Chain A
Amino acid sequence: MRIKACSRKAFSLAVTMLIVNVVSVAQSDDSIWSGVFTAQQAVRGAADYSTNCASCHSVDLRGNSNTPSLLGMSFMFIWEGRSLGELYTKMRDEMPSDRPGSLSTQSYEDMLAYLLQSNQFPAGEKELKASAGMLDRISITSKPLTDSICCRLDID
């Protein structure tokens, strides 16, 4: 097997992600792959992101020298295996960094939806809501390896 554009370490990381994914999905009723936000919500989130986040994390979410990338491998390295509730709480309690908690609940929910959409998680029929601890039950897990955004694999 030949691996392109993906280091051996990253590959093994991806394999680990796959395993974690299988386990997590088996344990959770609410899979992040079942569509936990709506496309319309992500559109609203994109607008709010542009106003409130893009100056630090960049318009393409890849960050700058002071802020982490919110996309792909970088995002998954930080958030793999953690819950959407934890991510939502971090956004609400710490972001934007100089006026944390200053946005509406809907704005944080919408921007989380946009973040998920940007990381290739599928949209669904129901809007993402932070209420009732729902987000705590949804684990952030990677895609099956064959679809992974992290690596392009050529199998000889």
Chain B
Amino acid sequence: MKTKIENCLAVALLVGSTAVAAQISDYQSVTEELLRSPSSGDWLSWRGTQAGWGYSALDQINSENVGQLQLIWSWAMDDTGAGEAAPLIHDGVMFLPGPRGVIQALNAANGDLIWEYRPGITPTIEGSNAVALGPDQLGTAAMPTTAFAGVGRGVQKNIAIFGDMIYAATENASIRAIDARSGLLVWETPVADPALGYYYTAGPIVANGTLVTGINGCERYKDDVCFITGHDPLTGEERWRTDTVARPGTPGGDTWGDLPLRFRAGSDAWIAGSYDPEANLVYWGTAQAKPWARAVRGTSGDALYTNSTLALNPDTGEMVWYYQHLPGETHDMDEVFETVLVDVDGRQSLFKMGKLAILWQLDRISGEIIKATDVGYQTIVNVNPVTGAITYRDGLLPRIGEQIDMCPSTSGFKSWRAMAYSPQTSAMYIPITLNCELATFGPTEQVLGGGGTGPVRRINYPHPQSNGNLGELLVLDIPSGEVKWRYRSRAPINTAALTTAGGLVFFGDWDRRMFALDAENGDILWQTRVTTSAQGFPISYMVDGRQFIALPAATGGASWSSMLPRDLAPELVRPRNGNSMHVFALPAP
């Protein structure tokens, strides 16, 4: 990988920083074919490949030598919001998403900055008539970029790379394209009105030449519903928009009872999906209905297409099938999370897990349930392992103002910290947090602009099976669903998992530790400690024959990252800031 330092004085003056002075001179366009079959040294999709395994085929770092890992470089990221970075790697360059729309291109071998994009500061590329959105377009959502953004706005999990551009979805409900060589803005397209509560925390994926992105912030009552869109990568033009909520009078519309459109909230699509190019289907999860409790939202119907896996044709947005995991969900048990595409015994399957820690295996062509495996920690539903049908246990349907005792808490066992699959061990490595709650659901105003999740008086308490531990890396054999091993810790496991062909699984915890475990048996083979909580999406890549492991640390984010450690492990303390990237490798030969 080479970078060419150019005399970009004019650009530097415009940006107000001399740091942006370089370009990637030998950038190679990312084709559809490359996305389907990336080099093992690259990391072109947010979970490595379009199948979402979170797996690296590199094995230079392996269970024999991982104990020799050394810190090669680290990089402080902006502390203006929650860090949940899912970086990409292409030809030795790391494209690193930071809070509040910042993206930086770094030399992945040594951490040198090549360029950085800053919303509202970085200029547009020459010849483009794109205009960065200003306060007039953003309305009340416009926030000073120096202000702290916290849990909601500012999260930028994943970005996408395709052609000559880097794509991002913003806290202000727009999608933008950045020139991959220079970091300059190419186009920015408003997708929804942020004043209505819409925003993005997950970025796009690219599927058959279309940018596919899911919106967040759909909990407010308004005369519209949540959606996923497909955009032209060259221009940003919207090609299609698929609602994730069934409107009155449309198929499934009666599953919301007689609630008018404006009171059909939720079904946010806040985690990026996966893509099967052979089937030409995008798989995208949706969140629970809002307000959370049936008694509060005013219908006990299934509320399609909440808490579902949707199979979409990326060319048209057509919903080819859906599978609703928890019909009429009523405890804030989100099923939106990552979709992992694995063929099992010749059957094209997908795997998902939601807050209840039920592992779902679906046929990804037909959408039929193959198997539902309840790990056994949750106390809310009974699930039929064959049909996937769920029934609520006695006394567990929330009534307004009446306390119920439930596991997990409304924070869930599983969250955005994605699980990883290893084809070596045929196992799924799943970060979860053990917790329970005494929960009392309360009412909310049924008025435009109101709604939301509904209030909950919550008292968190430790899970009876946890022995005081919050964190667990749960390893399930595929396809049996049997527990292969468990790693437990007092602190929540706070990153996604990364599996590698070196027989390893990498992850980190809230208490600033980063680990490599033997993927076969869970032995701790390497650990280190960093500036603040491990948080984000670990990746692996190779530059000039050397394998690297990149582990992000960060603060911000909801539930596991703030409330649960505070309430249930108060002796653990971390710094208030420290968003950063830490990159490790074996000693140079």
Q: Which residues of A contact B (CB under 8 A)?
A: 5, 7, 9-10, 13, 51-52, 54-56, 58-60, 62-69, 72-75, 77-78, 94, 96-99, 102, 150
Contacts and interface: CB of A to CB of B under 8 A. Distances in A.
30 contacts: A7-B443, A9-B400, A13-B443, A52-B148, A55-B148, A55-B150, A59-B141, A60-B140, A60-B449, A62-B450, A63-B452, A64-B151, A65-B216, A65-B217, A65-B270, A65-B453, A66-B559, A67-B151, A72-B445, A73-B442, A73-B444, A74-B444, A75-B455, A97-B150, A98-B148, A98-B150, A98-B562, A98-B576, A99-B576, A99-B577
A98 B457 CA distance: 21
B287 interface: yes
Contacts of A68: 452-453, 455-456
Most chain A CB atoms below 10 A, which of B151, B450, B555, B563: B151
Contacts of B486: none
Contacts of B217: 64-65
Interface in B399-425: 400-401
B578 to A, nearest CB: 11
Interface of B: 81-82, 140-141, 143, 147-154, 197, 216-220, 268, 270, 287, 290, 295, 298, 400-401, 442-447, 449-450, 452-457, 555-556, 558-559, 561-563, 566, 576-577
A72 B444 CA distance: 8
Nearest to B288: A65
A156 B151 CA distance: 46
B457 A78 contact: yes
B216 A55 contact: no
Nearest to A67: B151
Interface on chain B toward A: helix, strand, loop, or mixed SS?
Answer: loop
Nearest to B453: A65
A66 B152 CA distance: 7
A10 B141 CA distance: 31
A73 B443 contact: yes
B118 to A, nearest CB: 18
Contacts of B444: 69, 73-74
Given A63-B453, A65-B216, A74-B454, A56 B400 contact: no
Given A9-B400, A68-B453, A62 B151 contact: no
A51 B150 CA distance: 11
A75 B455 CA distance: 8
